Amino acid sequence: ILNVEQSPQSLHVQEGDSTNFTCSFPSSNFYALHWYRWETAKSPEALFVMTLNGDEKKKGRISATLNTKEGYSYLYIKGSQPEDSATYLCAFNNQGGKLIFGQGTELSVKP
């Protein structure tokens, strides 16, 4: 059974704080790691797809790193804003073409 675990499950920060959360996945047969942002009442939207060990990707104030040897990825948000409030999902692909999603980290940013 392939498990993708995200921590923490929820996070409450103040506007302006920087924050990060973790996605852990099996380190064998790695193919790709995805991050999605899921706002309430909307559908998940892709942030990053990473395929290489050591990959670092950035989109505005959000960035992600990837360590395939130890099986983890970090998502960082610099200077959190209330509009960053959402659930952040990671998903792991082990070459089967099948994305296994974690349960998500629910981020709440208070003004």
Angle at 47 between CA 17 and CA 79, to 5 degrees: 15
Task: Give 79's DSSP letter.
Answer: S
Asked if 42 interacts with other proteins (CB under 8 A), we say yes
Tell which positions 50-109 bind other proteins, by CB under 8 A. 51, 89, 91, 93, 95-101, 103-104
Q: In angstroms, what is the minimal distance from the CB of 109 to other proteins?
A: 20
Q: In angstroms, what is the minimal distance from the CB of 98 to other proteins?
A: 5
Tell which positions 2-41 bind other proteins, by CB under 8 A. 31-32, 34, 36
Nearer to other proteins, 17 or 31 (CB): 31
**Considering Cα of 52, then 53, then 56, then 57, what sign does the dihedral take?**
positive
Residue 48 in contact with residue 63, Cβ under 8 Å?
Answer: no
How many residues touch other proteins under the rule CB under 8 A: the total is: 23
- 32-38 vs 86-93, strand pairing mode: antiparallel
- Give the footprint of other proteins on this chain (CB under 8 A): 31-32, 34, 36, 42-46, 49, 51, 89, 91, 93, 95-101, 103-104
